[in-house]
Structure 1
Amino acid sequence: MTSADTAQADGLQTNFDQLLSANGIRVNAAQRRRLAWLSARLGRAAVHQPGSVPARDHGVVILVEPPSGPAAEMLYRSLRADCAVVIPFGENPAFDFLKSKLTDFGTIGPSSDGPHEMWWGGLNWRPIAPEEGSRSDASLRVVSCYPRALGDDHAGTLREKLAEFQIAYDIVPIDTADGEQMRASEKSAFMLRMWEEHREPLLFIEADATLSEPPLLPSYLDCDVALHKWNRWEMSARTLYFGRSPAAEALLRNWHHIATAYPAVWEGYLLDQAWSLTSSQMALDTAWLPRSYHAPAEDVGTPRHTTVVHNLPTDNSDHGPDAEFGVAIRPARRACRSGGRDAMIVINSQAASNAAITVIMRDIATSDAREMAASIEAVTGAFAADCGGFGRLELALCPWQDDIRVAKSAAKSANNRIIEIAPWQTLPADLFRTVGQSRDAGSVVVMAGQRG
């Protein structure tokens, strides 16, 4: 963000605080910064009223109520080409249909001061992308590695393009356990080495790729991480941006740890799991890169815009081991949110304890959006006020019984205590203290009560 952008964003800060407070919307610091960033580029922000059409001078449309199918279609058709839609309660699956009609721009994870996943998107990237032919003032280093067995010519084209665009780079051969194949643990270990050797943000590009233009978008977005989801759900490790932030480093280290533990698993799924883990623990600012940053060679010369062109087969065999892999996470990742089997938010307390408690929120598919958001805030607020001696809270949102079953199984295998609630239930202030004092560590506490 330039100094002019920062000054303009600072000037909008008070207005944002008033707007969010008046509409009962809680966001964390990273999410508020993104709202100001969008408004500085696109125009005034306003909360969308159900059944209405956004005013033409609204550059940022904040949506807090999930629209029905016809209402989503009406909203979609009424949007300006140069506006952004922001959903501050992006963890709610009721917004999935509207998201499917829009282009995903980014997701910012929850934190204790803003316990929701914020999603932002729009009709296309053009209004917020760097202008064609522009140069970035932000520092950036492109890094890449490849199995030594492939020879130095493997990355020749990429080296030539980076030199032409005057972009700093490190492209090196590495020794690999599987000859001409590179494991995720080897790629992530290389990335960690580059992270420790350099101070600039890092953009990893697969060594057999080429560039059609300078890859300016990731650093321009000023995010923690940027990557592409092939088919809107399969996370690809071919183009990866890591900004110089603690959250970016945490994702990188989590990816390396998981990849080392499961060397036989496909690298994209390991990256997905590292993203889910990191995003639940901190406000990870993720940008979902457009297809132009993950373009197969067949896109070159077509009307499609290309920036990073990968040497990919046309049958998608490079993007995952089989068509059914990751079925459980597919709907959630298409909507850029945590799935029912992942913890949506993890909060650590000040208690000197390794004991953890899992709260499973059921019936979210039939609950009002405000009701569900208020319940998430009630759970995290109660834990912050009195953790009951637990060192960690894990909150999972489970729309289906199968999700509840899997979440319970995972919690029990980790020896976590378990509470099952519904969004419409009122929680006692001493909830965690009461459960913590219970002697039956293996039981599931199901909150009783009828919907009012």
Structure 2
Amino acid sequence: MHASDHVPADLASLLRSAELRLNAAQRRRLGWLVMQFGAARLYRRGDKLRPEDGLIIVTDPLNSAGAELFYRSLRPGCVVVVPFGENPVFDFLKSKLTEYGTVGTHGADGPHELWWGGIGPIETLVPRAATAERLRVVSCYPRRGDDQGAIRLRQAVERHQLAAHIEPIDSAFDDRLQCAEKADFIARMWDRFAEPLLFVEAGADLHEAPLIPTRLACDLAVHKWNRWEMSARTIYLGRTAAAEAFLAVWQQLAELCPTVWEGALLDQAWCLATSQRSLDTVWLPRSYHALVGDLSESKATIVHDLRSTTADLGPDPSFAAIARAPRRAGRTGPRDALVVMQSPSPSTDSVAVILHDVGTADARAVAATIDAATSAFAAECGGFGRLELTLCAWRDEVDAARRAARSGRASVLEILPGQPIPPDLFASLASGRGSAVVPVPRI
């Protein structure tokens, strides 16, 4: 099930007037938000919010004072949408709000990340009367290990009358599962059952039925520990092609990197999937990932059988520091592509486009350059089979993106926000099959 494909006429008119390019999944999410919170309002610097404003779209970044004033004028129960969520200039505003979800890019039709958040926990925004598709709780545990945790979870799902499948599996260790074993199990459950899946680590207790993901009609729902570190203890997969693609990427990465911590693999799978397909992600609240001893344990939905400590989940030193700030802001970082596009060309040659100085440039200029570059590649790929576009705010980010591109033997194209993008840009680059910095002045 997905959010309705219907986009209200007034919302479509607002998107046209604001020159916002959204893909189909992002329009569905905005349409769903309109149905829940009323007509959308486009916020401009200096505007005063009204009590009836329930859905606010912010397209221009706010300085620290402006963000503080904006935050204080918001009322509980309203939602803020940032259509250019990939741009780090919006990170400060996002840090003031509770992050609810992200809808990823999809080629030239919608090469931006849509971010949405608000005031207070997401549980208060989802009406309990909202239609919820029936889900299936799935879990597994080492066959040679203790089954008491599985018994506890089975009793919990029976208490809430939820469909469930919990089974022992062969594992390399008696006391824990490797990431590949967990991903393979979830993939088997995907093929076996028709319902959306909610994987819950064996040993967890359910204090109430975990229905928020189905009521929000998303592709993926996961909790971010300390706002940036993704946890594989509670994962929801909607019954969609985008969710299936994410699962396939995660499974493949887990098989290729069996010794890498599962949270890092889950994070990387999310980055790869959300850059190639418009993945509608909901960030589960702490109530879906409570630990024994948490102050809010009594009000939690899912409580895992771990003591309230960061020793198990993070911060993990193997998680790259350069990725932490972007993940806190619900966006990909400088080592990850914002958008990945495949061309009709059968060529294995790829081009990495690095967009400089996004932290100091006008947000609209950055967005327009992203639109122009992806549109140019869609119209004339120059014989390249693949494009990867990365945003960089600082010199060290540019260096990291350049190294990543060269390690993949990609041609490198470095551009600046606001510069003209000629229609034959990629054909010109292909003639040299090397690296280039388009020589245009800064604006």
Partner of 1:344: 338
State whether residues 130 and 217 of structure 1, in contact with CA within 8 Å, keep that contact through their aligned partners in structure 2: no
1:444 and 2:438 matched: no
Residue from 126, 130, 135 that aligns with 1:129 = 126
- Aligned partners of 2:422, 2:438: CA distance in 1, in Å? 10
1:382 and 2:376 matched: yes
1:99 and 2:98 matched: no
Deviation at 1:451, TM superposition (A): 2.4
Write the mapping of 1:360-439 to structure 2, written as runs, cut at 5 A: 360-438=354-432
State whether residues 377 and 426 of structure 2, in contact with CA within 8 Å, keep that contact through their aligned partners in structure 1: yes
Q: 1:53 to 1:344 in 2, by over 3 A?
A: same
1:114 and 2:103 matched: no
Deviation at 1:52, TM superposition (A): 1.3
Residue from 57, 65, 71 that aligns with 2:66 = 71
Q: Secondary structure of 1:252's match?
A: helix
Write the mapping of 1:287-302 to structure 2, written as runs, cut at 5 A: 287-299=282-294, 302=296
State whether residues 290 and 297 of structure 2, in contact with CA within 8 Å, keep that contact through their aligned partners in structure 1: no
Cα RMSD (Å): 1.7
What amino acid is the match of 1:283? S
Q: Secondary structure of 1:36's match?
A: helix
Partner of 2:256: 261
Partner of 1:191: 186
What amino acid is the match of 1:35? L
- Once the two structures are superposed, what CA deviation does each residue of 1:32-54 show, in whole Å capped at 9, x if it has no partner? 11111011111110100111122
> Which is worse superposed, 59-68 or 424-433?
424-433
Deviation at 1:264, TM superposition (A): 0.8
1:227 and 2:222 matched: yes
- Aligned partners of 2:204, 2:127: CA distance in 1, in Å? 22
Partner of 1:36: 31
Partner of 1:332: 326
- Once the two structures are superposed, what CA deviation does each residue of 1:282-328 show, in whole Å capped at 9, x if it has no partner? 1000000000000111136x487300001123321111473563211
1:236 and 2:204 matched: no
State whether residues 132 and 211 of structure 2, in contact with CA within 8 Å, keep that contact through their aligned partners in structure 1: no
What amino acid is the match of 1:311? D
> Which is worse superposed, 145-154 or 156-165?
145-154
- Aligned partners of 2:268, 2:442: CA distance in 1, in Å? 35
Partner of 1:170: 165
- Aligned partners of 2:314, 2:100: CA distance in 1, in Å? 23
State whether residues 196 and 237 of structure 2, in contact with CA within 8 Å, keep that contact through their aligned partners in structure 1: yes
1:151 and 2:146 matched: yes
State whether residues 130 and 215 of structure 2, in contact with CA within 8 Å, keep that contact through their aligned partners in structure 1: no
- Once the two structures are superposed, what CA deviation does each residue of 1:206-230 show, in whole Å capped at 9, x if it has no partner? 1110011000101111000000000
Q: Secondary structure of 2:181's match?
A: helix
Deviation at 1:127, TM superposition (A): 4.0
- Aligned partners of 1:340, 1:304: CA distance in 2, in Å? 39
Q: 1:121 to 1:137 in 2, by over 3 A?
A: closer
State whether residues 132 and 214 of structure 2, in contact with CA within 8 Å, keep that contact through their aligned partners in structure 1: no
Q: 1:431 to 1:332 in 2, by over 3 A?
A: same
TM-score, with length taken from structure 1: 0.94
Q: Secondary structure of 2:144's match?
A: helix
- Aligned partners of 2:385, 2:297: CA distance in 1, in Å? 54
- Aligned partners of 2:127, 2:440: CA distance in 1, in Å? 53
Q: Percent identity?
A: 48
What amino acid is the match of 1:312? L
Counting matched residue pairs gives 441
Q: Secondary structure of 2:428's match?
A: helix
- Aligned partners of 1:135, 1:412: CA distance in 2, in Å? 49
Q: 1:323 to 1:313 in 2, by over 3 A?
A: farther
Deviation at 1:144, TM superposition (A): 0.2
Partner of 2:82: 87
State whether residues 360 and 396 of structure 1, in contact with CA within 8 Å, keep that contact through their aligned partners in structure 2: yes
What amino acid is the match of 1:445? A
Write the mapping of 1:55-70 to structure 2, written as runs, cut at 5 A: 55-70=50-65
Deviation at 1:351, TM superposition (A): 1.2
State whether residues 225 and 314 of structure 2, in contact with CA within 8 Å, keep that contact through their aligned partners in structure 1: no
State whether residues 199 and 235 of structure 2, in contact with CA within 8 Å, keep that contact through their aligned partners in structure 1: yes
State whether residues 148 and 180 of structure 1, in contact with CA within 8 Å, keep that contact through their aligned partners in structure 2: no
- Aligned partners of 1:315, 1:419: CA distance in 2, in Å? 45
Structure 2: segments with no counterpart, 5+ residues = none
Deviation at 1:129, TM superposition (A): 2.1
> Which is worse superposed, 171-180 or 323-332?
323-332
Q: Secondary structure of 2:177's match?
A: coil
Partner of 1:356: 350
Deviation at 1:25, TM superposition (A): 0.9
- Aligned partners of 2:377, 2:156: CA distance in 1, in Å? 52
Deviation at 1:19, TM superposition (A): 0.3
State whether residues 266 and 320 of structure 1, in contact with CA within 8 Å, keep that contact through their aligned partners in structure 2: no
- Runs of 4+ with deviation above 4 angstroms: 134-137
Q: 1:170 to 1:445 in 2, by over 3 A?
A: same
TM-score, with length taken from structure 2: 0.96
- Aligned partners of 2:124, 2:202: CA distance in 1, in Å? 30
Deviation at 1:437, TM superposition (A): 1.5
Deviation at 1:80, TM superposition (A): 1.8
What amino acid is the match of 1:116? H
Q: Secondary structure of 1:366's match?
A: coil
Q: Secondary structure of 1:363's match?
A: coil
State whether residues 266 and 321 of structure 1, in contact with CA within 8 Å, keep that contact through their aligned partners in structure 2: no
Q: Secondary structure of 1:240's match?
A: strand
